[in-house]
Amino acid sequence: MNSSIEQYVHDEVARQKLYKRTLWVVILSQVFGGAGLAAGITVGALIAQDMLGTDSFAGLPSALFTFGSAGAALLVGQLSQRYSRRLGLATGFWLGSLGAIGVIAATILTNIPLLFISLLVYGGGTATNLQARYAGTDLANAKQRATAISMAMVSTTFGAVAGPNLVQVMGNVADSIGIPTLAGPFILAAVAYGLAGLILAVMLRPDPYLVAKAIIANEEKANEAAQIVAKATNREGVMLGATIMIVSQVVMVAIMTMTPIHMSHHGHDLQQIGLVIGIHVGAMYLPSLVTGVLVDKIGRYAMAIAAVITLIAAGVMAAVAPVQSMFWLTLALALLGIGWNFGFISGTALLTDAIHPLERAKIQGRIDVFVALSGAAGGMLSGVIVAGTSYATLSYVGALIALATFGFILYRKKGFN
């Protein structure tokens, strides 16, 4: 066993200090990761609309970088499982940075194939931004777990809220150096993702997942009661946690993706769109200040129910909001973000609780693949639905998907509180 790891295996005080330091490193990286994430959310659909000349494929960028995030989630999970969280997470963020640079080049060259490929690679940052939350749980005990997830996610707020509100500023920067205006936010994304990867590569030492695996191996050896990993993982808990995250993701991505297009069609400018999306992204992460505590205190199941109710309210409000009203659109998108937050943190806690520590990184990565793919489907279908019907119809569909989840949660709720 590595000597830098061994001291944490036998010393609880040292382990808690490492747990807190790990959280701070993750928090710092997530501030930059959030800024990188915001670019694709805010202007991805607008770039596609501009380059393709149609609304029907406006959801394609969201789908592409979400498909890319699915592949990256698997890659990051496998690298983390085999080597370390540090290597997996740093690689994912650097892929996101490379993809952002590719998007900038594609807009300069008006090269649609390059745009599509770059958006896929850019998705690596999206996946990593989400997977970083698991690093905070590696050394957390059961009563700290949801709070640790929240602390990792809330730090994303600072960059994620700043990103959309810097759309106009970064557009001006892009203009000043001869780059298309809409590519401006991707300049920010390239730098932010690159810095996030660098922070993790340099500072996430010793690696929390390697320490956690060493602790479990030592405990099993000491107790002479090692169990088969496949039996130790609670598959019912994995399914419940995954379902809550998947539904939260697909409803959020579908409605969020088409909101900039919906607003643009009704006379809202880029600054207004950036404000609404910035508040939405803030609502996705800022409630984490209290969500994790609530999940740990009142239960995973109760917060999953709260997530579904909030997503239903968001879908209905988005559908009926007057198209010229910034207030109602902003409120609907804020509720959409809060519902996602409740669902993602309660689902992640359920998932992490259910997985045996020795296979945690691998299964977490695989589940995030399904979460990403569901989001990609939501993003891709959202443009088709709006083009064929309306934004209101899309929003009602999102509310119905959330409503349908009630039955599944009630069916699976036994044993999860």
Residue-wise pLDDT for 67-126, tens only, equals: 888 888 889 988 988 899 999 999 999 999 999 999 999 999 989 899 889 988 998 888
CATH fold label, 3-412: Growth Hormone; Chain: A; (1.20.1250)
Residue reference for tokens 């990593």: 128
What integer pLDDT is reported at residue 41 of this predicted model?
66
What integer pLDDT is reported at residue 54 of this predicted model?
67
Q: What is the pLDDT of residues 216-252, one digit of tens each?
A: 777 766 665 444 444 466 878 888 899 999 999 999 9
Which carries the bigger pLDDT value, residue 133 or residue 187? 187
Q: What residue spans define the domains of the chain?
A: 3-412
What integer pLDDT is reported at residue 170 of this predicted model?
85
Residue 20 has pLDDT above 80, yes or no: yes
Measure the CA–CA gap between 28 and 40, rounded to whole angstroms.
Answer: 21
Q: Is 191 exposed, middle or buried (0-12, 13-18, 19+ CB in 10 A)?
A: middle
Tokens representing residue 417 in the block: 């509180």
Residue reference for tokens 């069609």: 265
Shortest CA distance to 317 belongs to which of 371, 395, 383? Answer: 395
Residue 329 has pLDDT above 80, yes or no: yes
Return the ∠ at Cα 69 (arms to 65 and 70), rounded to 5°. 120
Q: Is 178 left (phi over 0), alpha (psi -120 to 50) or beta?
A: left
Q: Is 54 exposed, middle or buried (0-12, 13-18, 19+ CB in 10 A)?
A: exposed
Band (pLDDT 50/70/90 cuts) for residue 389 is very high
Quick count: other Cβ atoms within 10 Å of Cβ 182?
24
Residue 266 has pLDDT above 90, yes or no: no
Q: Helix H segments across 11-155?
A: 12-52, 60-82, 85-109, 112-135, 145-154
| CB contact set of 202 (below 8 Å; sequence gap of 6+) | none
The per-residue b/e assignment along 373-402, b for 16 or more CB within 10 angstroms, e otherwise, is bbbbbbbbbbbbbbbeeebbebbbbbbebb
Which range among 44-53, 175-184, 299-308 shows the weakest confidence by mean pLDDT?
Answer: 44-53
What integer pLDDT is reported at residue 59 of this predicted model?
65
Answer for the pair 296, 143: CB distance below 8 angstroms, yes or no: yes
SS (H, E, C) 198-229: HHHHHHCCCCHHHHHHHHHHHHHHHHCCCCCH
Write the DSSP symbol of residue 286. T
Rg of the chain over Cα atoms, rounded to whole angstroms, equals 21
Answer for the pair 365, 92: CB distance below 8 angstroms, yes or no: no
| CB contact set of 166 (below 8 Å; sequence gap of 6+) | 185, 188, 274
Residue 288 has pLDDT above 60, yes or no: yes
- State the average pLDDT for the chain: 85
Q: What is the pLDDT of residues 344-371, one digit of tens each?
A: 999 998 998 888 777 888 888 889 888 8
Which range among 153-157, 168-172, 339-343 shows the weakest confidence by mean pLDDT?
Answer: 153-157
Band (pLDDT 50/70/90 cuts) for residue 203 is very high
| CB contact set of 25 (below 8 Å; sequence gap of 6+) | 199, 200, 203, 204
Tokens representing residue 153 in the block: 């996610």
Quick count: other Cβ atoms within 10 Å of Cβ 416?
21
* DSSP codes joined into one string, 43-85: HHHHHHHHHH--STTTTHHHHHHHHHHHHHHHHHHHHHHHT-H
With a pLDDT cut of 70, the percent of the chain lying above it is: 91
Measure the CA–CA gap between 103 and 96, rounded to whole angstroms.
Answer: 11
With a pLDDT cut of 90, the percent of the chain lying above it is: 30
